[in-house]
Amino acid sequence: MSNEAFRMFELHQQGFNCSQILLQLGLEARGAQNPDLIRAINGLGGGLGFSGKTCGALTGGVCLLSLYTGRGKPEEKVHDQFHSMISKLVNWFEDTVGTAHGSINCRDIIGEDLKTKTINPKCSSIVTSTHEKVKDILESNGISMTGENIE
């Protein structure tokens, strides 16, 4: 088991949902902590607040990309490829998870009992593959998850 997979398991055991796990991994890769961000992301788990809508791994993945490429201060600008990177992740998610489960909605992926099934074995695989895809997208744009630019 990789360090990232073990860390995902630890975070799940601590009660964090898929979106929170993705963002926590991103913060940790940068050597940062931000409990307010992790708290805010809580609302994405279970398909937008456990409503069963869009999978929290996808929305969390978009947020993770935004953590590295988005705008957080008035003087900042989004990365030149921001929208392209988001589109790549969404298209990949629809093509892989959506095709495999007939939908990108949490309820369709894991069933009705969202609050007890979030981060089940299906979810673990989806969160892991989403994390890997985000890393690939960032790296293909010269961005390391440690926050350093890749030459």
Region 102-120: mean pLDDT is 78
pLDDT 10s digits, 16-35: 999 999 999 999 999 999 99
pLDDT of residue 124: 86
Q: Report the percentage of the chain scoring pLDDT > 70.
A: 91
Question: pLDDT tens digits for 121-131?
Answer: 778 899 999 99
pTM of the model: 0.92
Contacts within 8 Å (CB) and 24+ apart, 65-70: 65/89, 65/134, 65/137, 65/138, 67/23, 67/26, 67/27, 68/26, 68/138, 68/143, 68/145, 68/147, 69/138, 69/141, 69/143
